[in-house]
Structure 1
């Protein structure tokens, strides 16, 4: 595992090194979960939950239950 020293900008931003972005397939617009653990920051790539369409069967079930 390589350690990288990154500088935080005045807006609190930092750049994820290219080799890490490539390995994790992180692209512009992707979502990362930020978690604070003790004195460390952990980043995890996540797939956002897609909104349900009006045709999704769960809506039929919710009408039945309500």
Structure 2
């Protein structure tokens, strides 16, 4: 019997992956986390970022830029 394996879609990114996703430096995302200016979760000592939350963060910043 053959089993099909489906690719699991990740909903979280590491800090480095989130920085790459947003097109910013690792240093800058680290500063945003320290200042609590970006949504994140800390799990087992790792900072994790939901892709959906990052998209919402970008939309919020975009809306603020045209006010």
TM-score (norm 1): 0.24
Q: Which has the higher strand share?
A: 1
Please, what TM-score do these two structures have when normalized by structure 2? 0.24
Greater RCO between the two (CA within 8 Å, min separation 6)?
A: 2
Per residue, is there more helix in 1 or in 2? 2
Report which of the two structures shows the higher radius of gyration computed on alpha carbons: 1
